[in-house]
Amino acid sequence: MSRPPIVGADLWSAVATREGGTCGCTGRCGRRHADSGGRCDRHDGLIVAPRDLSVSLAVAVGLGAADLTTWCERCHRPALSAATKSAAAARAEHIEAEALF
């Protein structure tokens, strides 16, 4: 398992323990993780970040353990990219819909 960060170690440890010391990705990165039962089994270099990667940083810093999961870098980057693109598309659709009225 990865080492906890200097700041927020208690929260990191609680989330990492709940997730079994492995990445909590279940495919949002675009991989199926078929070799490990549908969930990433990487355990090195874990970070704790929101389950919902589309939340803003301002919201993310206030989330509790229940709204967080562990991510390995290999899963976090593509999952964050996909969430960012999806959120941008939703915002654009909302703006377009408002412009019609």
pLDDT digits (tens, 9 = 90+) for 21-80: 999 999 999 999 988 999 999 999 999 999 999 999 999 999 999 999 999 999 999 999
Domain assignment of residue 29, yes or no: yes
Domain assignment of residue 82, yes or no: yes
pLDDT band at 15 (very low <50, low <70, confident <90, very high): very high
Domain assignment of residue 1, yes or no: no
CA nearest 68: which of 20, 6, 19, 27?
A: 19
pTM of the model: 0.83
Tell me the C-alpha distance between 52 and 56, whole Å: 10
Domain assignment of residue 83, yes or no: yes
User: Is a pLDDT exceeding 70 seen at residue 100?
Assistant: no
Residue type, 39: R
Q: Bridge partners of 71?
A: 47
Asked if residue 69 lies in contact with residue 49, where contact means CB atoms within 8 angstroms, the answer is yes
Domain assignment of residue 23, yes or no: yes
For residues 99 and 62, the model is more confident at 62
Q: Work out how many domains the chain is built from and give that number.
A: 1
Domain assignment of residue 4, yes or no: no
Domain range for 27 is: 9-99
Which range scores top for mean pLDDT: 5-9, 66-70, 89-93?
Answer: 66-70
Domain assignment of residue 52, yes or no: yes
Domain assignment of residue 25, yes or no: yes
